[in-house]
Amino acid sequence: MGRAKRGKRIGGRRDGGSTRPQGDTRVDRKQQWWLEEENLHNARLEKYYQEQRIIPDGEEFQQFLEACKKPLPTSFRITAGRAFTSQILRSTEEHIPHLSNIEFEGERPSPPRELPWYPRRLGWQFDVKKSILRKQPEFKSLQGWLVHETESGTINRQEAVSMIPPLFLNVQHDHLVLDMCAAPGSKTGQLLEAVHAPLLAPDGTTPDPATQYQAVPLGLVIANDSDAQRVSMLKHQVTRLPSPNLMVTNCDARFYPNITVPYMGADGEIQYKDVRYDRILADVPCSGDGTMRKNQLIWKDWTMANGLGLHKMQLQILIRAMTLLAPGGRLVYSTCSLNPIENEAVVAGALREAEAAGWDMELIDTMESPEFEPFRQLKRRPGLHQWKVCPLKNLGALRQSRDKRAAVKARAGQSAEDEAKAKASAAGSDVQEGNAPVNKVGDEAPAATEDANLQVEGSQNDASSSNTQIDWVESWADLNAEFPVEAKKVAKTLWPHGDEERLKLERCMRVYPHLQNTGGFFVAVLHKRSQGNRTKVDGKGQAKSETAGMAEGIKRALDRLDELQDEKASKAAAVSASESTAEKRARSPTDDAESESSSVPMKKAKAAAADESEVDSKPGQEDATYEFANELNPAAFKEDAYSYVDLSHRETLAIQAAYSLPTSFIRNLLVRNLTGEVQRMVYYTNPVIRAILTQGPEFKNARHKYRVPVKLRLIFSGNKIFARQGPTAGEERATLEKWRIVREATDIMKGYMPPQRIVKATLKELMHMLQLNYPKLGDIEMEQLKERLSSADTGSYILEVDAGVDEGIGARLDDTLSLALWRAPHSVNIMLEKQEKSAISFRIFGRDVVDGSTDRYFTAQQKGQKKAENALATPPKAKSPSAEDDEMFNAPAPAAIGDGANAAPPS
Ligand SMILES: C[S@@+](CC[C@H](N)C(=O)[O-])C[C@H]1O[C@@H](n2cnc3c(N)ncnc32)[C@H](O)[C@@H]1O
């Protein structure tokens, strides 16, 4: 029973969003409990942290407790590096004067204020009651704006403290990043944004705005979570920020698999190596007591056992992270718990393990390093050198039971002796054994059974329990001396070892609620200096690890492999053109091998890597279906295949020709079927992901025709790029009409569009198009615009609006705006959902100019009908994790979000 409960807690810890599906009755329980303020008290929790001395006893500890009992302010961050980033920042600032000095029902709510430690003014926080948001007009309008922008992905609701760990990773364009415990994905969002647009340069200065944003950077983010349900929330969250640089996996972080890739170093040789990451985030499952301001049930449910039960798993995850980190790489370990057992004890345990393994790991001093200068204003306390341990939740019961047994034993011994003496004195003769009424030892005293555990746990769970005594144990040796059987199950790493100063644990960061009105958090930033004696060597004597900055070597190797493939293909084409069938038959079978002679070491390395493949194969499996591949996998895993497109397929060639795309681009087009045929939706990934998915032994191996990355349990990758238009009865469409560029691909395609496929528009023309929403060509009243659009062929375009100001219409655009445009035979459409068009209109024109009446997809009636249809067709979905539980960010009526903008527009 106890174990099941703990398991649930691990998977269910929430941070930056809730996991609870709509209609979950636990939400009601929470709300009910929330209202009773006297519940915000837990004598054991308070005593535990007082005795741990996480904060000096006295006045400050009281301030800490008071802050823990106040509701958490709302915070959000503005998506960095996108076309509208500066516009959103300006809108946020423009709201402030309107929200200052407002009095409502006797209160003066405070306007949003920036988080002083968040770089480039992109983090914000405010503290306003829901009743004010609903009724007070200016705050109501702020809420409407936040709803629009959150849905558009330009604003992200996130707890302020949860924004800290990714900041200290300072992710750059070429970083290989692993987010080990990623769901629901608030921090993954930050990491992904940073790969596209780093918040800071590597030295902590502001990056050059001209090069800050890259649509397809070299690096990648792998977001992983072991909980299948939470992984689907993660997928939902990250697809708000479409990226070709993301993979989502579903593995246990403690055993996160090695990913093997080709790598070309300075010597020009291609070797196969295991990926070692430049940046790793281990935001591990924890007891979550730092979130008590948001999740007030913590006051009720907290027990010491929560942290104890998680310590071992946290340590295992951190050690795996250290293993997977590239020398020169950086790792952040974080929890939203205040408990040293889950924090300093884990970091110290892992550092000791690293020392033993010969890895040069150290904690980074974030106060000293100039790179972290921008975060100086983050108020924090140093990590602890000392903490206390109560290693067993039932220690009191064990002691009682032991003492009782000893007493019984003593009594039994005493009475036997007394009786013997009495008998001896009465009879004056020898005592006859067996006559004495000796109790069986242990009859009365319960042993240390589960029942005993449960009894004690029950009393500990009671938040109002007056029994606050905590049975601290000085050291593991003391526990072993007292209870050797139990001690064997307890990790020695729970206790300080006396080396905490040497390990510089003070460099860890503790953020407390009272310091700057936030939740509580723990963050440790670690650095790996050099590879020690644990460097793995494969059968060929090649080092399998690599220093930071691997992405470039992977790309170089992939380019060379592509070249070799092209050479081979053109040779084969030349041979088949010039040779007769008879000559072909006579041709030496070694010719093909010779054509690759320059890559002999590579072939050997590939063979060696293929031998390491973990997936089984049996003869005859080549023809098996994808379902069969699932049977190979013990844990059920259903995902469609990932195949890069067949370069010689008719549709691939047609897309390539229609959009004049280089082969190097086309190679990165991905489809979700076994054959690589281009059928309905085409995705795009960056080359490093292609290297992982096509060149690793799992995928190279001929046995794995299924192209389902079973070992990695890949759940999601690829940015939608082309969508096939609906079938046209009886006629073949021209390619440009058939393959539409989807809106998520605008940034990727911008740099590749032929000039004739870019349509320029002024701010006034943009306004006109938004007003018409989905105009027939004949409805366009601006003659030049009408002419430009009418003379364009049907198909996909990028509509480009230059930055500028048009005072006549009250418009201002800070950065060039690019939007996907579809030119149908009789109409044009900006490929955005109506809500997004409204959001853009607000940003540029300060008001919503979009005419809803011509919206063909989202009229109120259709919305209602669609919702009803969906409800019948599909089980209820979990809410967006970023929006749940937060009225501020919830649309009053559910918005029709879905494939609308990407649905095939009528021709
Ligand atoms: C603190 S939450 C992560 C929050 C997330 N980083 C964010 O910012 O949204 C911890 C996550 O770890 C996951 N988890 C628990 N055990 C795990 C394991 N052994 N391997 C990987 N993930 C695990 C849980 O499912 C949970 O989603």
ipTM of the complex: 1.00
Angstrom distance (rounded) from CA 256 to CA 599: 31
601 CA to centre of own chain = 37
Round to whole Å and give the CA distance between 598 and 604.
12
Domain endpoint, select from 671, 689, 724: 724
Q: Please indicate, yes or no, whether residues 671 and 743 belong to a single structural domain of this protein.
A: no
- Cβ pair 216, 202 in contact under 8 A: no
C-alpha 315 – ligand 1 centre gap (Å) = 14
**In sequence order, which residues have a C-beta less than 8 Å from that of residue 342 and are 6 or more positions away?**
284, 286, 287, 307, 310, 311, 314, 335, 522
The Cα 566–Cα 551 span in angstroms is 22
What's the gap in Å between 15 CA and the centre of ligand 1? 9
179 CA closest ligand 1 atom index = 6
Instruction: Could you list the residues known to form a binding site for S-adenosyl-L-methionine, using ranges.
Output: 181-187, 225, 252, 283
Residue 692 lies in a domain: yes
Query: In this structure, are 748 and 848 located in the same domain?
Result: yes
Atom number, ligand 1, closest to the C-alpha of residue 281: 6
Among protein residues, the one whose CA lies closest to atom 27 of ligand 1: 183
Q: Residue ranges for the binding site?
A: 181-187, 225, 252, 283
Residue 630 covered by a domain: yes
Pair 685, 809 in one domain: no
Report if residue 776 sits inside a domain. yes
Same structural domain, 778 and 799: yes
Nearest CA to ligand 1 atom 25: 11
86, part of any domain: yes
User: How many residues does the structure list for the chain?
Assistant: 907
Distance CA 889, CA 887 (A): 5
Going by C-beta distance under 8 Å and a sequence separation of 6 or more, which residues neighbour residue 265?
Answer: 271, 553
Q: How far is the CA of 214 from the centre of ligand 1 (A)?
A: 29
Are 193 and 219 within 8 A, CB to CB? no
Based on the fold, state whether residues 761 and 693 are members of the same structural domain: no
- Which of 696, 724, 752 finishes a domain? 724
The residue type found at 649 is H
Nearest CA to ligand 1 atom 6: 182
Protein residue with its CA nearest to atom 2 in ligand 1: 285
Answer whether residue 224 is part of any domain. no
With contact defined as beta carbons under 8 Å apart, do 837 and 770 qualify? yes
Separation of 379 CA from ligand 1 center, angstroms? Answer: 26
Minimal-distance CA residue to ligand 1 atom 10:
285
DSSP type of residue 777: G
Residue with CA closest to ligand 1 atom 17: 226
- In sequence order, the β-bridge partners of residue 246 are 221
Question: Within this chain, do residues 659 and 702 fall inside the same structural domain, yes or no?
Answer: yes
* CB of 526 closer than 8 Å to CB of 363: yes
Task: Give the Cα separation of 673 and 732 in Å (integer).
Answer: 23
Q: Look at the chain and report how many structural domains it folds into.
A: 3
Closest CA to 841 of 811, 819, 862: 811
Residue in this structure with the two tokens 């969002």, named with its chain if needed? 189
Q: Which of 724, 757, 781 is the last residue of a domain?
A: 724
Q: Which atom of ligand 1 approaches the CA of 256 most closely?
A: 20
698: left (phi over 0), alpha (psi -120 to 50) or beta: alpha
pLDDT at position 724: 87
Buried b (16+ CB within 10 A) or exposed e, 422-433: ebeeeeeeeeee
Helix (H, G, I), strand (E, B) or coil at 813: strand
Phi, psi of 73 (to 5 degrees): -65, 160
Q: Please say whether the beta carbons of 72 and 15 come within 8 A.
A: no
Same-domain check for residues 764 and 836 = yes
Q: Which two tokens stand for residue 678?
A: 């281009």
Peptide linkage before 184 cis (omega within 30 of 0): yes
The Cα–Cα gap between 646 and 657 comes to: 15
Range of the domain at 699: 624-724
Domain presence at residue 636: yes
C-alpha 425/C-alpha 6 separation (Å) is 60
Instruction: Indicate if 763 and 702 belong to the same structural domain.
Output: no
For ligand 1, the distance from its centroid to the CA atom of residue 664, given in whole angstroms, is 36
- Residue 370: enclosing H or E segment and its boundaries? none
Distance between CA 845 and CA 511 in Å, rounded? 40
Q: Which amino acid, residue 829?
A: N
The residue whose CA is least distant from atom 1 of ligand 1 is: 285
Residues near ligand 1 with C-beta < 6 Å? 10-11, 13, 15-16, 162, 180-187, 225-227, 230, 252-254, 283, 285, 313
The residue whose CB lies within 8 Å of the most ligand 1 atoms, and thus the one to mutate among 163, 226, 713, is: 226
| CA 316 to ligand 1 centroid distance, Å | 13
- 797 forms beta bridges with 821
Same domain for 781 and 897?
A: yes
- Choose the catalytic residue: 68, 286, 336, 508: 336
**Mean pLDDT in each 10-residue stretch from start to end of the chain (907 residues)?**
35 38 46 65 93 91 94 91 88 83 81 93 87 80 80 90 98 98 96 96 90 94 95 90 95 93 91 95 97 91 92 98 96 98 98 94 95 96 97 85 87 76 61 33 29 34 62 95 94 98 98 97 93 45 61 96 90 74 50 34 38 29 34 55 88 89 95 85 96 75 49 89 70 67 94 92 96 90 94 92 95 94 92 86 87 38 39 35 39 29 31
Q: Let me know if 336 is a catalytic residue.
A: yes
Given this model, what pLDDT does residue 578 score?
73
| Gap between the Cα atoms of 333 and 310, Å rounded | 14
**pLDDT of 727:** 56
Q: What local confidence, expressed as pLDDT, does residue 427 receive? A: 58
719 in the same domain as 761: no
- Give the pLDDT of residue 397: 84
| Residue 674 shares a structural domain with residue 745 | no
> For residues 555 and 688, what is the distance between their CA atoms, to the nearest angstrom?
6
Token pair of 89 as six digits: 């920042």
How many Cβ atoms from other residues are within 10 Å of residue 480's Cβ? 16
Is residue 397 situated within a structural domain?
A: no
Check whether residue 825 and residue 876 sit in a common domain. yes
Model's pTM, two decimal places? 0.81
Span from the CA of 245 to the centroid of ligand 1 (angstroms): 21
Rounded to the nearest angstrom, the distance between the alpha carbon of 708 and the centre of ligand 1 is: 24
Contact indicator for 665, 636 with CB cutoff of 8 Å: no
Residue closest by Cα to atom 5 of ligand 1: 182
3-class secondary-structure state, position 392: coil
* Structural domain includes residue 114: yes
Output the CA 285–ligand 1 centroid distance in Å. 5
* 848-875 per-residue burial string, b: 16 or more CB within 10 A, e: under 16: bbbeeeebebbeeeebeeeeeeeeeeee
Given ligand 1 and candidates 20, 181, 523, 884, which is best to mutate, with the most ligand atoms within 8 Å of its CB?
A: 181
Q: Determine the 3-state secondary structure of 361 from DSSP.
A: strand
How many whole angstroms from 286 Cα to the centroid of ligand 1? 9
